[in-house]
Chains A and B, each alone.
Chain A
Amino acid sequence: MATDASGPYERWVEGAIRNPQKVYRAMFVVAAIFFLVTTLFPLYWLVVLALTPQEAISNVGLLPNGFNPGAFVTVFQTVPFHWYVFNSFVLGLLTTVVVLFLASLAGYVFGRLEFPGRTPLMLLLLAVSYFPPAAFLLPLFRLFTANVTFLTLPGGNAVTSPMLFNTPGALVLPYSALFLPLSIFILTTFYGQIPDGLEKAARVEGTTRLGALFRVIMPLSAPGVATAGVLTFIAVYNEFFFGYLMTDGQAQHWAPVVWGILHFQGQYGSLYNLMAAASIIGVLPVAIIVVVAQEKIVSGLTAGALKE
């Protein structure tokens, strides 16, 4: 079949039939390139936009029309952008703490105890975690803006829900609920793998069940706890929907980083270069966390099964 007349493509195909590994490698390269372009190109485009001066922002090509690194400083002068970043950080950390605590309790129960209804409850959790967050918004908004009356006292005074709008509570509560299921799943798996003997030993030595959870099971599941924590933090940091609607957008009212970026969009024009610069600054902390934590998580996972 292979004749001298065959072209390079035909020869490649013939080689591939004899050696399928070649095709798999080619497919991997194509997929990887596709993935890299779709994820990295928007970032690159942000850099191009950020560096282009405001007046030259039309008809931008693959290279910036000029060079204006000052945009990264102007961002903080126009809007208190650092406050928005700070807000998102605090919201992320608070939520992570709440989620890790609650998911640890749930993970312990689901992972280490036998009780009737465990599987149905787990499935219910899974189902709830797939509800669209928008479904919760209206009731939660009414609840957090003191519009829900729980009961009316004899004197005519009403006990209403607290006014949480513009406070961290209005965000941390729904975030914790939304991101809890994922962490519960991760921690259930990890806590379930800690040998029974270690928990028993801790309990005999003087802890309660909860003590054993936080002194022995949780430290030994560090990779899992780190994974759950990082994923929760990143999810909250990136969250837009509730962050946009549960605050009025003022930095002092706990508006998150997305609000900060939107502030560069005025009624009469949009400062696209500043929005791009702010986006890059906003992404940086998460990118750093991912790089640092990923190494930790991977090293924790490859450390192998726990020996007693």
Chain B
Amino acid sequence: MGNVRLENLTKRYEDTTAVDGVDLEIEDGEFVTLVGPSGCGKSTTLEMIAGLTIPSDGTVSIASRDVTTLPPKDRGIAMVFQNIALFPHMDVDDNVSFGLRLRDFDDDEIDRRVEEALEIVQMDGMGDRMPDELSGGQRQRIAIARAIVREPEVFLMDEPLANLDAALRVHMRTELQRLHRELATTIVYVTHDQEEAMTMSNRLAVMNGGQVQQFADPMTCYAEPDNEFVAGFIGSPSMNFFEGAVTAEGVETAYFDVPFDPDEVGVERAREVTLGIRPEDVARSDSTENLTDPTEPVEATVDVVEPVGDEVFVYLLLDDQGGRDASEGELLMSAPPGPALTDDVEGERFRIRMDRARVHLFDADTGDAIVHGIAEGPSHEAGAREVESD
């Protein structure tokens, strides 16, 4: 079965560590995305799974078989590359059948499989075209056909959609999901696009600094990020963060307070924390129907209003209460569009509330999540989802 297991996978270069002790267990048939900013080690990790890069440390197992020292061709994998990488001197048929011909399949079998693969990617009848006669999307389909024709245990995809234009990218995204459903083969997918990662995968491995920050399904990564990095990386627009401290009355930041009883929520007092709140969990104080547990209103000045169609991004400047640099008090609110939210309100004063049930607290030093959602006592419906400490 096409499961993939990485144990303490590490890649060190002379002066840097690109991948730092990655442990992952990918189930058979799962669509897992390695996602993170550029330079986070996701592509290096994929190349180590493929065998194109030799790990400095750790092991790679594919289909319950240790393949750490095997060359790429013997690992039962197929790969789709960002730059598509069709062989320019071969026509479509030869490109797709390249791997089969190297493995000495007989001609009838090759023809049958190539035809089948081209049908799956809806490119049948294009067998004698050369790659430079195809459009970008067609080339990407051929690259996928070349990968599926060998019926590998695992597909590896390294930003396969990055070079396509926006419309085609969204289209190919659904195509890939359909393909995954049809083939039910394990896919390990690499992207820096968190939206792509969220929409396509069963599970995300959010990476930063060569380490896996969180390995969970997309909604968990979104709603209960393990640390500040995941919270900021997943979700668009990004989460708002404020530095603050836990006192006997709750969390105090330079701009507002979120009162609660630290003992009941389970947070130590006198602790430096970072408070995180997503733009969609902020609302004007007169339209809080989407908030489960609104906080006391806070005054803010509207800086910029950005309508994007189905929602409006409102950049607010919170009143400085702590005498710090004013630019730090920026809060992004995402609200449903309405006649009250146009460019005209820029400069006006808003009263806003946040959803206490959706406030995240992170350790100010380590960035680790302390609590997701603040709720005191058992009477609250939105129970605080306390983070298990290791």
Partner of A202, one of B83, B87, B150, B156: B87
Contact A308 B103 (CB under 8 A): no
On chain A, the residues within 8 Å of B83 by CB distance are 195, 197, 308
Closest to A219 in B: B89
Closest to B73 in A: A206
On chain A, the residues within 8 Å of B88 by CB distance are 198, 220, 306-308
Asked whether any CB of chain A lies closer than 8 Å to the CB of B85, the reply is: yes
Rounded to whole angstroms, the CA-CA distance of A283 and B118 in the bound complex is 53
Contact A308 B85 (CB under 8 A): yes
On chain B, the residues within 8 Å of A206 by CB distance are 73, 98-99, 102-103
Contact A211 B102 (CB under 8 A): yes
Asked whether any CB of chain B lies closer than 8 Å to the CB of A201, the reply is: yes
CB distance from A293 to the nearest CB of B (A): 19
Write out, one digit per residue, whether chain B residues 159-171 have a CB within 8 A of any chain A CB (1) or not (0). Answer: 0000000000000
Rounded to whole angstroms, the CA-CA distance of A207 and B100 in the bound complex is 11
CB distance from A236 to the nearest CB of B (A): 28
CB distance from A212 to the nearest CB of B (A): 10
Closest to A209 in B: B71
Write out, one digit per residue, whether chain B residues 74-114 have a CB within 8 A of any chain A CB (1) or not (0). Answer: 00011101111111110000000011001100000000000
Asked whether any CB of chain A lies closer than 8 Å to the CB of B72, the reply is: yes
Q: Interface size of A by Cβ–Cβ distance < 8 Å?
A: 19
Write out, one digit per residue, whether chain A residues 133-163 have a CB within 8 A of any chain B CB (1) or not (0). Answer: 0000000000000000000000000000000
The listed residue with most B CB atoms (<10 A of its CB), out of A205, A207, A216, A306, is A205
Asked whether any CB of chain A lies closer than 8 Å to the CB of B40, the reply is: no
Rounded to whole angstroms, the CA-CA distance of A308 and B131 in the bound complex is 8
Asked whether any CB of chain B lies closer than 8 Å to the CB of A208, the reply is: yes
Contact B77 A308 (CB under 8 A): no
Closest to B132 in A: A307
Asked whether any CB of chain A lies closer than 8 Å to the CB of B50, the reply is: yes
On chain A, the residues within 8 Å of B146 by CB distance are 201, 205
Partner of A205, one of B82, B99, B132: B99
Rounded to whole angstroms, the CA-CA distance of A195 and B81 in the bound complex is 12
Query: With A203-B71, A208-B71, A208-B73 in contact, do A197 and B132 touch (Cβ < 8 Å)?
Result: no
Asked whether any CB of chain B lies closer than 8 Å to the CB of A22, the reply is: no
Contact A204 B73 (CB under 8 A): yes
Rounded to whole angstroms, the CA-CA distance of A201 and B71 in the bound complex is 13
Closest to A208 in B: B71
Rounded to whole angstroms, the CA-CA distance of A8 and B77 in the bound complex is 79
Asked whether any CB of chain B lies closer than 8 Å to the CB of A118, the reply is: no
Within 8 A of A (CB), among B272-287: none
Smallest CB-CB A-B distances: 10 pairs: A197-B85, A206-B102, A205-B99, A201-B85, A206-B73, A204-B79, A197-B83, A197-B81, A206-B99, A204-B72
Residues of B within 8 A of A (CB): 47, 50-52, 71-73, 77-79, 81-89, 98-99, 102-103, 131-132, 146, 150, 156
